[in-house]
Amino acid sequence: MRLLKLSGDDEFSFTKDILDENEIPRYAILSHTWQEDQEVTFDEFSNYENKSKAGYDKIRFCAQQAKRDGLEYFWVDTCCINKADAVELQDAINSMFRWYQQASQCYVYLADVPIKKRKAGYENFQYTWEPSFQQSRWFTRGWTLQELLAPHSVKFFSKEGTRLGDKKSLERQIHEITGIPLRVLQGAPLHDFSKEDRLSWSEGRHTTRKEDRAYSMLGIFGIFMLPNYGEGEENAFRRLHKEI
């Protein structure tokens, strides 16, 4: 695992690769949806490139929020995984659920949920975000399912970086949006639920690479399976069912 370490105001850098899980410090982790051509890759971050990308603002947001929560380390998937290294990518896919589960804080950044001001009477205004929250793309993506379920502490933030609530305070809304039982959102062990139940939570979710619909479920079933991009979604799910 590779983390980012805060080293000053708006300054952060990679740690060395941490091979022993007992040596991993307390860290925050980011959950978000990718924007095409706007995410900062491992190579770009390592070479101090493309700081103007929108993805860099999300890295900065995670760093600032981690600092507020008294955390020196944080993790962002776009830059902390070297996806050009096939072995590292395979390990990351099978470790992802555990990394989110072990995070001290998980920050969900919702780029499509602005806080809007609307008139509510003479010289009175209300600020609302619930309609956008219900329609957020974050609830339709495959990888964000485990990012919702694995961590103990999940905090939701608007496009402006304003905290909207957490998994506990928003559990009713999340349940209505996703259909995931309240017991699951409250931390009930996933093995208490059938294979069919757990698979149903991923229905209607999408991934950029078709095989990822299956690979994103590995941690939810507690299994290890090497990814094989190019095998197709059907074959990936066939292997997933076999492992289950």
Mean pLDDT, range 9-31, rounded to an integer: 93
The answer as to whether 52 is a domain residue is yes
The answer as to whether 72 is a domain residue is yes
**Count of domains for the chain:** 1
The answer as to whether 184 is a domain residue is yes
pTM listed for this prediction: 0.94
Q: Is the pLDDT reported for residue 123 higher than 70?
A: no
pLDDT tens track for 91-115: 999 999 999 999 999 999 999 999 9
The answer as to whether 233 is a domain residue is no
pLDDT tens track for 171-189: 999 999 999 999 999 999 9
The answer as to whether 228 is a domain residue is no
Q: How far apart are CA 129 and CA 122, in angstroms?
A: 21
Q: How confident is the model at residue 126 (pLDDT cuts 50, 70, 90)?
A: low
Name all contacts of 118-123 with Cβ < 8 Å and 24+ positions apart: none
The answer as to whether 236 is a domain residue is no
Q: How many residues does the chain have?
A: 244
Q: For the chain, give the longest Cα–Cα distance.
A: 63
pLDDT, position 52: 85
pLDDT, position 49: 78
The answer as to whether 237 is a domain residue is no
- Please give the mean pLDDT across all residues of the chain: 94
- The range of the structural domain enclosing residue 90 comes to 4-189
Mean pLDDT, range 80-95, rounded to an integer: 97
The answer as to whether 84 is a domain residue is yes
Mean pLDDT, range 112-130, rounded to an integer: 73
